[in-house]
Amino acid sequence: MVGTLAAGEAIGPLTPARVQAEVANGKLTGDKSPVNDGGEADIVVVLARSGHGHGLFLVEIAGAGVTRAALEMTDASRPAVSITFDGAAAGALPVEDGWAALQELYDRAAVLYAFEQVGGAQRCLEMARDYACERFAFGRPIGSFQAIKHKLADVYIATELARSNAYYGAWALNADAPELPVAAATARVAACRAYDLAAKENIQTHGGMGFTWELDCHLYYRRAKALGVALGAARTWKDKLVARLETRNAA
């Protein structure tokens, strides 16, 4: 059985006020988009309004009142769909506050995503380095020019910083430490920046070849963009990090 999560509903940051899906008398009505892996999923956990708050509800996708439509995604290797619920049967999960539970879930997911982003950034750096060592211009490898050296040095620094923060997040996640909210936000922000920078500089280092389908540079760029918004954009996580640091320092 394959399960997925349906939280977002429109372009822009996900906030409690933007959630329009609603459950009344055990029936769910509303739209969710994009839903990652929604085309293959059997069940979906949906964030929706209920009474005076928000809850998480379990819905069988094959049940009545559920329709799906494929979406064209930036990263075609990570398919997603939009799902429309029209009076679909929904079972409430045992959580007091669905919104708070979702934020805890995102914190845990952010740490795991960070490691994928670090891995992607590392591969982009390796691709750019290898090409810079073998591509000659004016009788010299292009990697010997400062313009290339400085770019790749910046990517290396960003990647190692993101790796360090990802490890810190992994410790906090494994230990269920109170530092997890701050560690997760830090890992998310650093990983988004590192992968985005590495993917862009990889294309630039490859020059005109980097923009073609012949090389894999564009695949990493697409993945970097997709992962960068999968749990909310980096700007949203920066705001979370600042708020959490203020709360911690005020305690």
Interval 2-19: pLDDT, tens: 999 999 997 788 999 999
Name the region of 120 (left: φ>0; alpha: ψ -120 to 50; beta: rest).
alpha
Q: Please give the Cα distance from 154 to 131 (Å, whole number).
A: 17
Q: CA angle, 33 as apex, 88 and 226 as ends, to 5°?
A: 145
Q: Provide mean pLDDT across the span 149-172.
A: 98
CA–CA dist 16, 101 (Å, integer) = 12
Tens-digit pLDDT profile for residues 192-220: 999 999 999 999 999 988 889 889 999 99
Q: Give the residue-averaged pLDDT of 145-159.
A: 96
> Residue 55's pLDDT is what?
96
Pick among 1.20.140.10, 3.30.420.40, 3.40.50.720, 3.40.50.1370: CATH of 99-250 = 1.20.140.10
Q: Where are the domains of the chain?
A: 3-95, 99-250
CATH code that applies to domain 3-95: 2.40.110.10
pLDDT band (50, 70, 90) for residue 124: very high
Fold agreement (3-95, 99-250): no
DSSP structural state of residue 145: S
Distance CA(101)–CA(215), nearest Å, equals 41
How far apart, in whole angstroms, are the C-alpha atoms of residue 199 and residue 216? 10
The pLDDT mean for the chain works out to 95
pTM exceeding the 0.85 threshold for the entire prediction? yes
CA atoms within 13 A on the CB side of 26: 2
